[in-house]
Amino acid sequence: MSKPPSYGRLLLVPTPIDFGVRSENLPVDLQDSLPLGVIRQAAALSYWVAENAKTARAFLKRVDAVTPLAQPLQAISIIELPRRPKSTMVPSPINPSHLLTPALQGHDVGLVSEAGMPAVADPGATLVQAAHQLGVTVRPLPGVSALLLALAASGLNGQNFAFVGYLPVDAAEKIASIREVETVSRRLGQTQLIIETPYRNATLLAALLAHLRPTTRLSVSCGLTLPNGWTHSDAVAAWRSRVTALPTDTPAVFALLAA
C-alpha cells in the first residue's frame, strides 16, 4: 500500500496594519504587532501567496530585521492572489488551487493580506477554502486584526456583532445601506462594523452623521497600532456637535449600535 502524501501547511500570517501610513516620526516595531514566534515562522517560509507582492516583500524586509530570512528575499516565491473587485467582499469565483502546489509537494506556504489577518475582510478566503478541499492543513497564526481591535475599543456590543464591509460608493445607495444597517442593528442589538478606503473616510463619516439617528452610538477607530492611533465612541448627536477630521491616508474602522 502506498504511503499517503505528506502535505505542507497553509499558514495564515498576520501583518502589521500600519502599511501606507508609516513615516520617519512614527516608527513601528514589528514586535509590537506580532509575537516573536510568528515572526520566526514567517522568516522560515520560502513560498508565499499574497494580495500584493510589493507589500509582502516590504513585510518580509521587516521580518528579516528581527529574524534573518532562511533564504535571500530574491529567492523567495511570492505569488499574488487573483484580483477581485474592491467594491465587494464576496470571494473571487476564480479557483486558486494551483497556488497551493508547493503545499502539495510538502512545503509550508504562507498567506498574507495587505494588512492584518489574512482571509478576514480579505480575498485570501478563497485560498483557505481551496486548502480545505485539497486536504491541506490550515493554521492561523496569532496577530493583529483591525476589526477586533476596533470592536474591543468601541465599548459597543462585543457579544453580538457583524462585519458588513464596504458601503456602496453611490450616494443614494450608500444612504439606503446606512439605514438598512442601522435597522438591523436596532432589531438584533448587534454592533455593525464598516470599513472604507482611507481617502473616503471623511465622506463615510459625513454620511453616517447625516443619516443615522441621533441616539445611535457610533465609534471610529483610526490608525490602530500606530503611536497616535485613537478610538472615539459617542452618540451620533454628540458627534454632530463637534468637528472631527479624519486622515485620508490612514485606515479606519467604523462601528455603530442603534439604540
pTM, entire model: 0.84
Residues 227, 166, single domain; the answer is yes
Residues 56, 93, single domain; the answer is yes
The structural domain count of the chain equals 2
The pLDDT value given to residue 3: 44
Percent of the residues in the chain that have a pLDDT greater than 70, as a whole number:
90
Q: String of b and e for 151-163 (b: at least 16 CB within 10 Å)?
A: bebbebbeeebeb
Residues 105, 173, single domain; the answer is no
CA 199 to chain CA centroid, Å, is 17
Among residues 122, 140, 158, which one ends one of the domains? Answer: 140
pLDDT tens column, 32-53:
889 999 999 999 999 999 989 9
Among residues 140, 166, 183, which one ends one of the domains? Answer: 140
Strands 9-12 and 137-140: parallel
The pLDDT value given to residue 25: 46
Residues 98, 36, single domain; the answer is yes
Residue 115: inside a domain, yes or no?
A: yes
Dihedral (CA of 236, 239, 241, 245) sign: negative
At what angle are helices 53-66 and 36-44 packed, to 10 degrees? Answer: 120
C-alpha distance from residue 109 to each of 7, 17, 70, 219, 240 (Å): 10, 21, 14, 37, 48
- Alpha carbons 136 and 59: distance in angstroms, whole number: 25
**Cβ neighbours for 92, distance < 8 A, ≥ 6 positions apart:** 81, 82, 83, 84, 123, 126
CA 57 to chain CA centroid, Å, is 18
Question: Which DSSP letter does residue 138 get?
Answer: E
- Alpha carbons 59 and 84: distance in angstroms, whole number: 22
The pLDDT value given to residue 13: 97
- Give me the domain span that covers residue 18: 9-140
